[in-house]
Structure 1
């Protein structure tokens, strides 16, 4: 009986210890997760920064910060590329080195400087992996700016606000119709591949390149209007002044 009682006591102690270890492990895991969340939410580095980048306009998005690791993406020149790297803080100044994957001919490395006392601006340099890529290395100074979908901007905001009628488009020149149609994409932050199209919008304060795919963002009104505008663009090309232009 004494032996049985002794064995039972050992089992109870073992189960108790094992349970305590699990509880401690769960608590530690919870603390780690909470620390990770706090790091991601509270980092001053997080955000979207916009400004000139050579002949183009760039949006640099820092989307995740965990400890000294960062992740994000750059949208410029019709490309949307991810990057990742490390951030070091010395006396309130962050120094960031972040690299794009390298599987695209235009990829490169960002070196970024960020002051805690001035959280709305970053400066830096981008160096391509290939020397002749995208016109070579570029310096930049960017300002914090968040993309917002706005329907009241541009020359032809009605193309995003309501269904167009034929009388809205049948007396416009082909060039005007192209602006009307491309403004719809620009309002959604579409980063145009063609340089001449980018140049139409990159000097506009409201335009922030944010993506290279807006198919799922277009509204039903916009999709219908795009089809109508394209039809009249074709008419304008085929018939010119004979079509009432």
Structure 2
């Protein structure tokens, strides 16, 4: 049976944990050669080694990558294309979550959040489009329901994800008007049960209290990373050929909950 990502080359930022880790595994199992980037060198190298041990054929590589640094982006894309081949897929997944409402968040926190969450997508789209210009490809930017649903305690995070959504639409339109075969979409999950989310939970809150289950816990909001990875796989693949400039909500109808 053919694999959906056979012969594709993918780059996943923030790939050492959470959604990035699940996405790297899924892309590799579907036939892609995957570059995993992160600032967590130890975890990233371990993941690439695990993928190569299980799947063989040097399917994965790790590159240390500060996603808010343009020089890093230039070096990373060059290394990916040298070692794995022309870039087909970019998953802009890296991000941070810093708590703070408008009264208590600091300017430094706001600027750091915008740099890692939003500027990284700007740089990824800028250099990703340049790399894909001749062959075409797909870019998916990780946003959040916080881009449109007010979250009082995370003012900077919501602003950064709204910027990601706007940047996605602008980049998708640019590619269409320039006649480029590059699709650009944003994915907007509600909570995902990742290390970042777990670190933000109040002490003693068990996973059962936050994981969404239509029968056991319909009020829960979090999904597992592998569920979001499957949506990313679809958006990055040829089955989503007609989708570009879209905001895809992976939020289990949270808007209807009035939260």
TM-score normalised by the shorter chain: which range applies?
A: under 0.3
Q: Greater helix share, 1 or 2?
A: 2
Q: TM-score, normalised by structure 1?
A: 0.23
Structure with larger Rg: 1
The answer to which structure has the higher strand fraction is 1
The alignment's TM-score, normalised by the length of structure 2, stands at 0.22
